[in-house]
């Protein structure tokens, strides 16, 4: 007997209990789905801005084309999903703001940002960085996407007057409360976008996942191009490519990042030993 309506609760007790027991398995089915869901297979081989720190091995594995086999816990998978959802929400907000600017009903905000010049704002999200598009990306085999670019144009001539990159990061309340400036690894990631896309400015938009506060587009979260950071990155790119050319791996640097690294299966970091020893979870059947 089914349990598809309130009236069905009056059916034979054993049948009702059986259906309820099946319903009680839903959370376990979801847990298995999150853990077993495949991801990370669609990234091109090469150097990715988000994989440059802290360990060089990730980029070398990527350049060598070593298969990605993420073994990510439910905690990290859900955390990444929340971050991705917030990215999409914020990008849509900025698209809507740009549209209002162009219609003229958000010029109060646009004028404040552009020092009361007669400019309109455009916004582009997920701006691609790849060898076929930029000479620098081709030189260093770079593959990434910038979260967004704000472009301000003169309302009459349509000339580009200002371009600002956007880097979105989400933080738990505890981590957000400790922020005093952009994290060094995020500054370096952003400089990959700044160099390849010729962006003079970058806004680090950190969002507090607890109360939805965010960092302003002022110092220290609005930065200008820093040549010394790019010089450091170029040296890192060269080291990565040299190791890949020799088919050698650099020294591993074990951190919490190993927990969601797609190459931990071959690198075998010591802090993941228990994970590798676990028996694979079998899908539940109801």
Give all strands (DSSP E) within 22-129, no chain letters: 119-129
> Could you tell me the pLDDT band of residue 5, with boundaries at 50, 70 and 90?
confident
Report if residue 50 sits inside a domain.
Answer: no
Report if residue 14 sits inside a domain.
Answer: no
How much is the pLDDT for 132? 96
Section 123-131 average pLDDT: 96
Q: What is the CATH number of the domain that holds 218?
A: 3.90.320
Report if residue 102 sits inside a domain.
Answer: yes
How much is the pLDDT for 283? 46
Is residue 282 packed enough to be buried (19+ CB in 10 Å), middle (13-18) or exposed (0-12)? Answer: exposed
Report if residue 217 sits inside a domain.
Answer: yes
Distance CA 251, CA 244 (A): 13
How much is the pLDDT for 202? 94
Report if residue 227 sits inside a domain.
Answer: yes
Which of the pair, 220 or 2, is modelled with greater confidence? 220
Number of domains in the chain: 1
Which of the pair, 209 or 112, is modelled with greater confidence? 209
| Residue 80 and residue 261 in contact, taking contact as beta carbons nearer than 8 Å | no
Section 178-191 average pLDDT: 96
How much is the pLDDT for 1? 74
Report if residue 115 sits inside a domain.
Answer: yes
Section 227-245 average pLDDT: 96
Report if residue 48 sits inside a domain.
Answer: no
User: Which range of residues forms the domain containing residue 242?
Assistant: 83-248
> Could you tell me the pLDDT band of residue 276, with boundaries at 50, 70 and 90?
very low
Model confidence pLDDT, tens digit, residues 29-63: 777 776 666 555 567 789 999 999 889 999 999 99
Report if residue 259 sits inside a domain.
Answer: no
């Amino acid at each position: 007997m089914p349990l598809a309506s309130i009236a069905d609760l009056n059916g034979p007790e054993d049948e009702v209990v059986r259906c309820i027991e099946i319903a009680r398995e839903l959370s376990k089915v979801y847990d298995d789905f999150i853990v077993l869901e495949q991801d990370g297979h669609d990234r091109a081989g090469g150097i990715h801005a988000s994989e440059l720190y802290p360990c060089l091995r990730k980029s070398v594995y990527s350049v060598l084309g070593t298969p990605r086999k993420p073994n990510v816990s439910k905690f990290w998978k859900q955390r990444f999903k929340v971050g991705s959802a917030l990215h999409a929400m914020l990008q849509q907000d900025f698209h809507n703001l740009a549209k209002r600017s162009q219609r003229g009903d958000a010029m109060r905000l646009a004028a404040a940002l552009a020092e009361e010049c007669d400019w309109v704002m455009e916004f582009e999200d997920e701006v691609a960085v790849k060898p076929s598009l930029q000479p620098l990306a081709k030189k260093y085999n770079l593959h990434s996407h910038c979260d967004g670019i704000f472009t301000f144009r003169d309302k009459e001539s349509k000339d580009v007057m200002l371009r600002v990159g956007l880097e979105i990061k989400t933080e738990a309340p505890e981590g957000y409360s400790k922020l005093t400036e952009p994290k060094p690894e995020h500054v370096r990631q952003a400089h990959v976008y700044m160099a390849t896309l010729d962006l003079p400015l970058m806004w680090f938009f950190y969002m507090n996942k607890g109360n939805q506060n965010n960092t302003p587009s002022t110092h220290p979260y609005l930065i200008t191009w820093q040549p010394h950071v790019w010089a450091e990155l170029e040296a890192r790119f060269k080291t990565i490519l040299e190791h890949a050319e020799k088919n050698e791996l650099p020294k591993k640097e074990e951190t919490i990042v190993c927990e969601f690294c797609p190459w931990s299966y071959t690198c075998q970091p010591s802090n993941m030993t228990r994970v590798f020893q676990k028996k694979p979870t079998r899908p539940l059947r109801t």
